[in-house]
């Protein structure tokens, strides 16, 4: 911990001392010419930019409220008798509770749009940005470099506002941690830990704006040495789309997810960290590069923002970055590069906390029962929920004379059903999961196993068993249990998840070969082949049932890249071409386990007849997993002769049946202006099972993009 805080204090003190020294000399009238000298060695540049993305299909982001699967689909629900309620005298979750002549509400048909308003947005992305850079050279060897970025989102999306359902099921409750992203209008930029602390301490953000510093460092460069100290982004990778050697920094996915200009190679996405980096050019052919940095996690989009990738029926994950003391951890790594003739070799080792983290179920900390009063004074809840609460209160407290040994049928651990729920990952509230179909649909979209998720809650949270839940063996039993709980809630139940981080040791080997042929006009002449391989033992991935600690697995990643500068006519400059392939043994490009692939949630577009009794299990399939993930990419650019125009393209293809195609034209009209027009074509259902490929997760992001930049 001391080393992290010492690094932070040192960089802040250095900048403050330099500013103070300059101010003092200014007060003295700069008598020795130091400020004039320094000013002459300081450069500034700035950029104003507008980014706009317009939706081009009728498919909206189904991870957000108002567009979720089954938003417009009627799904029947039936409550079943909990086995523990009668001491295990009935089969598990197979005996329906009768309607008792209508006295107790035990079955219905639910539609999300009866509770949640629909949304249909035209804009996917609208952002105004200013970025600036100051480079101050104290000497030929020592410089200060600061880059600042200010972003504003005018919020033109007609997004879901949690306050619109404040009088349904008591509204979306806060508590149990900082719920900044869940209880109001969509929050486009803030990113906080469970305790409310900023995940990036050098960032200043509100709901619609963000100011941060991608770089703020001192650099000393002399002879064969280069030392950088301060906030910085470290990039080691060679590939577009793929990260194999590019291990030091996590990614910030709030701004346009990964749908910006792909050829920028994550340059706008890497999370800056306080770091000490040193590079040594040991000889003309050997380079040594190493770093030590403060751990900073990847940043994921907030619920109900345009590029949210997690179902908004679940609360924003509670981040344990501070409460788990991960903010005091260090990452470190070293890379070696060597050239020999047409060959190049590289090796790397990184010890880091995986910035994506591991997601698992979490106690909600929200004490809210099955019945209650809305802020407007109206009552909510139904007779089934009231019956459950009455039955729970009738149980004897654990440790009393009537309950010396705990038995879930006759004993209770807490004072009320609401208190018991606060010790589970489940919270009563609107905009959550309304049916078994929706539960399995949300799980499938996140590459999780809905059946294992149910059993994980029951296994890891005794308070759920205290509320009459019990383990299930199949989809039918899980559906009956879930719909019983949903019916008793008088609407929906929201899930609570947390994020933790685990250390991993990453080993990498790479090679480069520049091919030469006797024919200088051959396509294969000067064709560059890059290979990068990564092996990580005992990597932690999110468990498909959201169990604590995640899943441990050894993983290897292999990436092959072919590069070529091709001049096919003397009338045009050379075009850059890149051909890429990546094979992953355990996780996808995002970092989620391949064991969660292959599930689905049934048929989205078929309405169940109104009044149908019993639960609908049709089409529900839990994940079978896939053995590996394989991706192909083709990218490049072709400048026009006067470089007034540049054509770019990037294609990412998942061999399981998904594709992202991004054609782009750049126009440089002069006067410091540049215009980028590009289209993102996304199709995650080319063939096969859609949940077998990664692209399915962003299937709704077909959009035309316009970027206008002005260099100051």
**Average pLDDT estimate for 305-325:** 96
83: tokens are 């086995």
Q: Which fold has domain 46-62+120-362+499-711?
A: Porin (2.40.160)
What integer pLDDT is reported at residue 71 of this predicted model? Answer: 87
Closest alpha carbon to 294 in 200, 359, 189, 191:
200
Query: Which residue do the tokens 């080997």 mark?
Result: 509
- Confidence at 238, pLDDT banded by 50, 70, 90: low
Q: Give SS3 for 8.
A: helix
| E strand or H helix that includes residue 486 | helix 475-488
Planar angle of CA 317, 321, 323, nearest 5 degrees: 100
d(CA 426, CA 403): 26
Evaluate whether 194 touches 178 at the Cβ level (below 8 Å).
yes
What integer pLDDT is reported at residue 679 of this predicted model? Answer: 98
Residues β-bridged to residue 334: 290, 349
What integer pLDDT is reported at residue 409 of this predicted model? Answer: 87
Q: What percent of the chain has pLDDT over 90?
A: 76
What integer pLDDT is reported at residue 268 of this predicted model? Answer: 87
Terminal-residue alpha carbon distance, the chain: 41
Find all residues with CB under 8 Å of 518, minimum gap 6, and list them: none
Q: Give SS3 for 476.
A: helix
Torsion (CA) 104, 110, 112, 114 in degrees, nearest 10: -70
d(CA 452, CA 459): 10
What integer pLDDT is reported at residue 612 of this predicted model? Answer: 41
**Average pLDDT estimate for 336-358:** 96
| E strand or H helix that includes residue 464 | helix 462-466
What integer pLDDT is reported at residue 286 of this predicted model? Answer: 96
- Give the count of alpha carbons within 13 A of 264, CB side only: 12
Q: Where are the alpha helices (DSSP H) in 560-607?
A: none
Condensed to tens digits (0 to 9), the pLDDT of residues 104-133 reads 888 888 999 999 988 888 899 999 999 999
**Average pLDDT estimate for 249-274:** 90
d(CA 712, CA 130): 10
Alpha-carbon separation of residue 406 from 70, 447, 472 (angstroms): 40, 36, 21
Is the torsion defined by CA of 129, 207, 320, 595 positive or negative?
negative
Closest alpha carbon to 440 in 471, 481, 390, 409:
481
What integer pLDDT is reported at residue 420 of this predicted model? Answer: 97
**Average pLDDT estimate for 348-360:** 97
Burial 592-628 (b: 16+ CB within 10 A, else e): bbbbbbbbbbbeeeeebeeebeebbbeebbbbeebee
- Confidence at 367, pLDDT banded by 50, 70, 90: very high
- What is the 3-class SS of 168-191, one letter each residue? CCCCCCCCCCCCCCCCCCCCCCCC
d(CA 31, CA 23): 13
Condensed to tens digits (0 to 9), the pLDDT of residues 550-609 reads 999 999 999 999 999 999 888 899 999 999 999 999 999 999 999 999 987 554 333 333
Find all residues with CB under 8 Å of 516, minimum gap 6, and list them: 342, 525, 526
Would you mind telling me the total number of residues written for the chain in this entry? 712
d(CA 159, CA 155): 8
Closest alpha carbon to 261 in 711, 574, 639, 707:
707
The answer, yes or no, to whether residue 4 has pLDDT greater than 80, is: no
What integer pLDDT is reported at residue 2 of this predicted model? Answer: 40
What integer pLDDT is reported at residue 92 of this predicted model? Answer: 87
Q: Give SS3 for 650.
A: strand
Evaluate whether 687 touches 658 at the Cβ level (below 8 Å).
no
> Is 0.85 topped by the overall pTM?
yes
Q: What percent of the chain has pLDDT over 70?
A: 93
d(CA 476, CA 262): 43
What integer pLDDT is reported at residue 119 of this predicted model? Answer: 83
The answer, yes or no, to whether residue 287 has pLDDT greater than 80, is: yes
**Average pLDDT estimate for 640-651:** 94
**Average pLDDT estimate for 484-495:** 95
d(CA 63, CA 698): 10
Planar angle of CA 507, 635, 306, nearest 5 degrees: 85
**Average pLDDT estimate for 261-279:** 90
d(CA 26, CA 374): 62
Average pLDDT, the chain: 90
Closest alpha carbon to 443 in 304, 568, 595:
595
Distance, CA of 624 to chain centre: 23
Q: Give SS3 for 442.
A: helix
What integer pLDDT is reported at residue 445 of this predicted model? Answer: 86
674: tokens are 């540049």
d(CA 613, CA 96): 10
Find all residues with CB under 8 Å of 24, minimum gap 6, and list them: none
Closest alpha carbon to 622 in 439, 362, 433, 424:
439
- Rg, C-alpha atoms of the chain: 28
Task: Spell out where 593-702 has E strands.
Answer: 600-601, 620-621, 629-639, 645-654, 658-670, 673-683
d(CA 456, CA 543): 10
- Confidence at 3, pLDDT banded by 50, 70, 90: very low
> DSSP letter at 140?
S
Evaluate whether 190 touches 167 at the Cβ level (below 8 Å).
no
d(CA 260, CA 270): 13
**Average pLDDT estimate for 660-688:** 95
> DSSP letter at 314?
B
Of 241 and 168, the structure prediction assigns the larger pLDDT to 168
702: tokens are 């077909």
Condensed to tens digits (0 to 9), the pLDDT of residues 392-441 reads 999 999 989 999 998 888 999 999 999 999 999 999 999 999 999 999 98
- Confidence at 271, pLDDT banded by 50, 70, 90: very high
Tell me the pairing of strands 673-683 and 658-670. Answer: antiparallel
Evaluate whether 293 touches 274 at the Cβ level (below 8 Å).
yes
d(CA 250, CA 257): 13
């Amino acid at each position: 911990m001391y080393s992290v805080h010492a690094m932070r204090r040192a960089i802040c003190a250095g900048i403050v001392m330099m500013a103070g020294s300059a101010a003092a000399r200014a007060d003295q009238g700069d008598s020795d010419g130091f400020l004039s000298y320094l000013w002459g060695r300081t450069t500034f540049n700035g950029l104003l930019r507008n980014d706009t993305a317009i939706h081009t299909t009728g498919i909206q982001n189904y991870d957000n409220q108002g567009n979720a699967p089954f938003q417009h689909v009627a799904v029947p629900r039936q409550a079943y008798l909990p086995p523990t309620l009668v001491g295990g005298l009935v089969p598990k979750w197979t005996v329906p509770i009768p309607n008792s002549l209508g006295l107790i509400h035990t079955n219905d048909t639910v539609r999300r749009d009866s509770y949640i308003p629909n949304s249909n947005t035209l804009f996917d992305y609208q952002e105004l940005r200013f970025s600036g850079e100051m480079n101050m050279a104290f000497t030929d060897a020592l410089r200060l470099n600061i880059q600042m970025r200010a972003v504003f989102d005018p919020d033109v999306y007609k997004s879901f506002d949690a306050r619109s359902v404040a009088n349904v099921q008591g509204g979306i409750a806060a508590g149990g941690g900082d719920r900044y992203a869940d209880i109001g209008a969509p929050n486009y930029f803030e990113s906080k830990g469970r305790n409310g602390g900023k995940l990036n301490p050098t960032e200043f953000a509100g709901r619609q704006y963000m100011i941060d510093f991608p770089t703020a460092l001192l650099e000393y460069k002399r002879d064969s040495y280069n030392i950088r100290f301060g906030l910085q982004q470290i990039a080691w990778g060679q590939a577009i789309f793929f990260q194999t050697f590019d291990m030091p920094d996590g990614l910030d996915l709030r701004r346009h997810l990964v749908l910006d200009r792909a050829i920028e190679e994550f340059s706008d996405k890497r999370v800056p960290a306080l770091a000490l980096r040193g590079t040594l050019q040991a000889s003309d052919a050997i380079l040594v590069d190493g770093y030590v940095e403060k751990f900073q996690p990847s940043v994921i989009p907030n619920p109900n923002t345009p590029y949210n990738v997690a179902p908004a029926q679940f609360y924003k994950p509670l981040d344990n970055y501070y409460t788990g003391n991960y903010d005091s951890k260090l990452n470190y790594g070293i890379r070696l590069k060597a050239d020999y003739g047409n060959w190049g070799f590289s090796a790397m080792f990184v010890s880091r906390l995986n910035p994506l983290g591991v997601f698992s179920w979490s106690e909600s900390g929200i004490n809210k029962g099955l019945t209650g009063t809305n802020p407007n004074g109206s009552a909510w809840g139904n007779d089934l929920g009231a019956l459950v609460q009455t039955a729970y209160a009738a149980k004897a407290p654990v440790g009393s004379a009537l309950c010396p040994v705990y038995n879930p049928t006759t004993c209770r651990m807490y004072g009320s059903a609401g208190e018991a729920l606060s010790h589970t990952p489940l919270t009563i509230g609107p905009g959550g999961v309304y049916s078994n179909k929706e539960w399995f649909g949300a799980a499938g979209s996140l590459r999780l196993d809905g059946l294992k998720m149910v059993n994980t809650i029951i296994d890891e949270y005794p308070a759920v068993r205290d509320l009459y839940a019990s383990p299930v063996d199949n989809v039918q039993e899980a559906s009956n249990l879930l719909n019983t709980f949903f019916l008793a809630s008088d609407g929906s139940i929201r899930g609570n998840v947390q994020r933790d981080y685990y250390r991993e040791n990453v080993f990498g080997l790479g090679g480069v070969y520049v091919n030469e042929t006797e024919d200088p006009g051959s396509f294969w002449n000067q064709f560059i082949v890059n290979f990068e391989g990564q092996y990580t033992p005992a990597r932690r991935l999110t468990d498909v049932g959201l169990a604590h600690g995640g899943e441990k697995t050894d993983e290897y990643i292999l990436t092959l890249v072919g590069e070529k500068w091709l001049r096919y006519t003397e009338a045009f400059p050379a075009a850059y071409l890149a051909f890429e392939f990546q094979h992953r043994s355990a996780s996808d490009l995002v970092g989620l386990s391949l064991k969660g692939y292959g599930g689905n949630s049934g048929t989205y577009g078929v309405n169940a007849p109104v009044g149908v009794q019993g639960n609908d299990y049709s089409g529900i399939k839990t994940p079978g997993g896939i053995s590996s993930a394989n991706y192909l990419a083709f990218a490049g650019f072709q400048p026009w002769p006067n470089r007034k125009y540049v054509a770019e393209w990037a294609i990412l293809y998942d061999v399981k049946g998904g594709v992202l195609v991004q054609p782009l034209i750049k126009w440089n009209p002069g006067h410091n202006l540049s215009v980028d027009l590009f289209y993102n074509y996304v199709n995650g259902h080319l063939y096969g099972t859609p949940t077998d490929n990664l692209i399915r997760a962003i299937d709704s992001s077909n959009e035309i993009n316009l970027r206008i930049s002005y260099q100051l």
